[in-house]
Amino acid sequence: MKRIELFCFLMLTLLSANTKAESPVKRYNLDSYRIPINEKGAFVGRLISQTPNKIYEVKLLQDTANIFYINKKGVIRLKKNVAIKESSPVFRYAIKVEADGSTVEFELVKDEFIKNKVVAHRGAWKNTKVAQNSIRSLENAFKLGCAGSEFDVWLSSDNVAVISHDSKIGGLSIENSTYQELSKVVLPAGDKVPTLKEYLAEGKTQNKTALILEIKSSGISNERTLELTDSIISIVHQMKAQGWVEYISFSYDALKHGYNLDPSAKTAYLSGDKSVNEVKSDNITGIDYSFYSYRSDPELVHSAHKLGLTTNVWTVNDKDDFKNYLESGVDYITTDEPELLLQMIKNRGK
Ligand code: MG
């Protein structure tokens, strides 16, 4: 190989190394990251190994607030006489755990997550005149006090996870464009296309609205959907956002792959073509089916709950439907009209 060819080869190798999709290798996770409030010695979560039969030794190496305790089985609790008060302004706590000689860092979150069932579909954008899936649509969902805010994630051609509903944005195909090209897009109300990292950073500025992350199905290949899943879970772990995020997807494979990468991830399937037994046996933790599915099977909420699955219905925008689903016992209602649904819930409480 001539010197110039060797130089080009090395440059290309370096460039491709920089743009590789992020791949998560995580041996330890917690089964829960949320700290109950006003409860002395509360259970927070259990350390779980991805090699389940292994007996591991655990140690709490760092606890910035000095309030946690970990036992030999990896169970993390608040210390006996410690409770996180409702009035405490701190809501994120960093810990570092040693397990079988390797260290892993987590962030635990004070559990003040709202339980009003309302999930803002693509953020709260419709009545606030901001772009769907923009940072401002997420902030609006926080301001309204929604239980969750939903958003959609794609992978750019150079493996940057970005937020958009459609596969095209600003005239560009996301999967065939670089992040640099996508970053120049200005949406009609002036919003930019956020990266997943930016979105999660914003999401972690609060502890009341859960982040409902949709893994989009790639138009290129199923492998590309799995690469997107790798990238998403890797970023969520890097940013220590596990306590905030729940995953949804129309791709059954993405959710099954998600379980392999993080067995404690909360996942819900969107397509509606699998029975609750099938979903349960594939370790997916919930169904997020369209209202057609619930309408055609009035027992669906009940049969899902019997198996311990969570239930979410999409996309409900009508007053009569809101009333029906509020009475159905469904856990989440995904809507483009979060203001209207919240008002109805408020009125019902009177
Ligand atoms: Mg979506």
Interval 144-200: pLDDT, tens: 999 999 999 999 999 999 999 999 999 999 999 999 999 999 998 999 999 999 999
Measured in Å, residue 26 CA sits from the centre of ligand 1 at 27
Measured in Å, residue 215 CA sits from the centre of ligand 1 at 8
How many whole angstroms separate alpha carbon 11 and alpha carbon 192? 31
Measured in Å, residue 210 CA sits from the centre of ligand 1 at 15
Measured in Å, residue 349 CA sits from the centre of ligand 1 at 29
Measured in Å, residue 308 CA sits from the centre of ligand 1 at 23
Q: Is 298 exposed, middle or buried (0-12, 13-18, 19+ CB in 10 A)?
A: exposed
pTM over 0.85: yes
Measured in Å, residue 270 CA sits from the centre of ligand 1 at 9
Measured in Å, residue 298 CA sits from the centre of ligand 1 at 24
Measured in Å, residue 150 CA sits from the centre of ligand 1 at 6
Measured in Å, residue 165 CA sits from the centre of ligand 1 at 6
Taking only the tens place, the pLDDT of each residue in 85-94 is 999 999 999 9
CA distances from 72 to 100, 109, 334 (A): 12, 22, 41
Measured in Å, residue 33 CA sits from the centre of ligand 1 at 24
Measured in Å, residue 81 CA sits from the centre of ligand 1 at 43
Measured in Å, residue 166 CA sits from the centre of ligand 1 at 9
Measured in Å, residue 133 CA sits from the centre of ligand 1 at 9
Is the domain spanning 28-110 CATH 3.40.47.10? The answer is no
pLDDT for position 50: 78
Taking only the tens place, the pLDDT of each residue in 220-238 is 999 999 999 999 999 999 9
Measured in Å, residue 91 CA sits from the centre of ligand 1 at 28
Provide CATH 2.60.40.60 ranges for the chain. 28-110
Measured in Å, residue 11 CA sits from the centre of ligand 1 at 38
How many whole angstroms separate alpha carbon 273 and alpha carbon 278? 10
Taking only the tens place, the pLDDT of each residue in 51-93 is 765 656 899 999 999 999 999 889 999 999 999 999 999 999 9
Q: 118-349 sits in which CATH class?
A: alpha beta
Measured in Å, residue 326 CA sits from the centre of ligand 1 at 21
How many whole angstroms separate alpha carbon 267 and alpha carbon 280? 11
Measured in Å, residue 63 CA sits from the centre of ligand 1 at 36
Provide CATH 3.20.20.190 ranges for the chain. 118-349
pLDDT tops 80 at residue 256: yes
